[in-house]
Structures are given as C-alpha cells and as structure tokens.
C-alpha cells in the first residue's frame, strides 16, 4: 500500500488525481494541498510515502518545495507532476532531490507506474544527456560544478560538504542558488506555451 499526498493549485486537478489514485489498487490518496501553506500541516499529520507535486504553484514552485520536503525525516519520495515536464527540467529536478518527473499529459498508467517506482526507491527521471550537462555547465559558476557532479553521482550532502571543506548549510545554500539559475527557461522558444 502506497500512501500518497497531492499538491496542486487547481481544484479540478486535485479532484481528478484523488479519484484516479483511489481507483487504483494499492494506492491510498491521503489528502490534497493547494499550496505550501496547507502542505506542512498535512505532511506532518499524514506522513505519506510519495508526494505528487505540481511544478507551477502560487508562491514557491515545486522545486523549492521539494527541497524543503526532502529535509523532513524520514523524507517521502517526491514525484514532480508538471505540464512542462521536458528534459530541461531534469538537472534542476535532480539537484532539488526530485525522484520522478511525469508530464500532466501522460496517461494514468504512466503516473501509476512512476508512483510505484519512486515508492520503491527508484528514480524516474530522463537521462542526463551531454547537451544538458554542457548547458548547465555554461550557466553555473565554476565552483558550483563539483557540487553538480557529486549530486549527479548521488554523493550525500555531508560528503560533498566534507570534500569541499565547507559547512553543509553552505552547500545547501549553493544548491538552492544553482537550482534558481538552472530552472530559467532554456533558450526561451517562441513556442513556449
């Protein structure tokens, strides 16, 4: 049984997700938050296995929320559920500790599958291609690149801090800054819709 918490700012999407997840055997949708404000009490009350998290939210976006959710002990798996789940989001999602990325236009099966896999501790993210890395490398400062490399290789935060010889809080702060810089739209296409 997988216990799931939903975060989405649109009522139709919250209702749809709850209905769909309730209908699937093995899933228990616990509650649905519409922003970060009602998320924290719910998170503490329900202790979910998986959080299905919208990317575009009023206030802080899904990546920022994910960072904070992942600071919980024990942290639930986080599935970023976005209308714009394209490859450009992969590296910032990885830095933010997102376990899975699913497009809102994907059929329910894909969502079920992703939820089961992240609940098992697997990662459901697009592979990080050389282009994505090059692009990220161009937009990050040179002292941030080791953090990116170690994060991609799943080095724990404390080890990264030890390797770089800085405080863990400083590493966390740098990661926040890197996410902010990377999630800016990649060469903003005219077709960005």
Partner 1 sequence: MTSRWMTLLLMTRLLAAAVAVLLLLVHRVTPDDPVLIGAGVAYTAGSLLVLTTVPRLQLSPAAWLVDGAAALALVVASGDWRSPFYVLMLTALILPATSLPFRRALGWGLAFTLAYLGVAVSTDLDADVLESTIRVETIATHLMVPLVVVLALAYAADVLDRLRDERLRSERLAVESERQRIAWELHDSAKQRVHAAHLVLSALQNQVDGPEAQLVSHALTELRAAGADMDTSVAELRTPLEGRSVQRLLEERAAELAPVSEAQINVQGTVGELPAHIAAHIYRIGAEALTNAVRHGEAEHVDVMLARNGSTATIEVRDDGRGLPAIRRPGSNGLRSMRARADTIGATLSLGPGDGGRGTSVVLSWPTDSDGGSSHA
Binding site for partner 1 (CB under 8 A): 10, 12-13, 15-17, 19-20, 23-24, 56, 83-88, 100-111, 114, 124-127, 129-131, 135, 186-187, 189-193
Provide the minimum distance between the beta carbon of 134 and partner 1 in the complex, in angstroms, as a whole number.
9
Nearer Cβ to partner 1 (18/172) = 18
Nearer Cβ to partner 1 (111/178) = 111
How far is residue 3's CA from residue 1's CA, in Å, rounded to a whole number? 6
How far is residue 168's CA from residue 161's CA, in Å, rounded to a whole number? 5
Phi and psi (nearest 5°) for 91?
-70, -50
Nearer Cβ to partner 1 (133/150) = 133
Provide the minimum distance between the beta carbon of 123 and partner 1 in the complex, in angstroms, as a whole number.
10
Sign (positive/negative) of CA torsion 55, 61, 67, 71?
negative
Is the distance from CB of 98 to CB of 66 less than 8 angstroms?
yes
Provide the minimum distance between the beta carbon of 146 and partner 1 in the complex, in angstroms, as a whole number.
24
Is the distance from CB of 147 to CB of 174 less than 8 angstroms?
yes
Provide the minimum distance between the beta carbon of 150 and partner 1 in the complex, in angstroms, as a whole number.
24
Nearer Cβ to partner 1 (68/104) = 104
Nearer Cβ to partner 1 (75/87) = 87
Query: Collapsing DSSP states into helix, strand and coil, what is residue 80?
Result: strand
How far is residue 142's CA from residue 144's CA, in Å, rounded to a whole number? 5
Residue 95 DSSP one-character state: H
Relative to beta strand 77-82, strand 50-54 is parallel
Provide the minimum distance between the beta carbon of 27 and partner 1 in the complex, in angstroms, as a whole number.
11
């Amino acid at each position: 049984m997988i216990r799931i918490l939903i975060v989405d700012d649109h009522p139709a999407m919250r209702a749809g997700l709850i209905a769909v997840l309730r209908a699937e055997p093995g899933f228990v949708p616990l509650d649905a938050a519409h922003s970060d404000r009602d998320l924290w009490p719910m998170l503490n009350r329900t202790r979910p296995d998986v959080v299905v998290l919208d990317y575009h939210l009023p206030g802080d976006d899904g990546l920022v929320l994910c960072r904070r959710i992942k600071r919980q002990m024990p942290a639930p798996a986080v599935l970023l559920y976005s209308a714009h789940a394209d490859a450009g989001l992969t590296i910032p999602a990885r830095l933010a500790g997102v376990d899975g990325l699913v497009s809102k236009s994907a059929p329910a099966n894909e969502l079920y599958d992703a939820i089961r896999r992240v609940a098992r501790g697997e990662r459901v993210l697009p592979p990080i291609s050389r282009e994505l890395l090059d692009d990220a490398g161009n937009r990050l400062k040179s002292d941030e690149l080791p953090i990116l490399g170690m994060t991609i290789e799943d080095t724990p935060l404390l080890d990264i801090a030890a390797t770089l010889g800085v405080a863990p809080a400083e590493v966390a702060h740098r990661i926040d800054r890197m996410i902010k810089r990377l999630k800016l739209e990649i060469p903003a296409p005219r077709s960005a819709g």
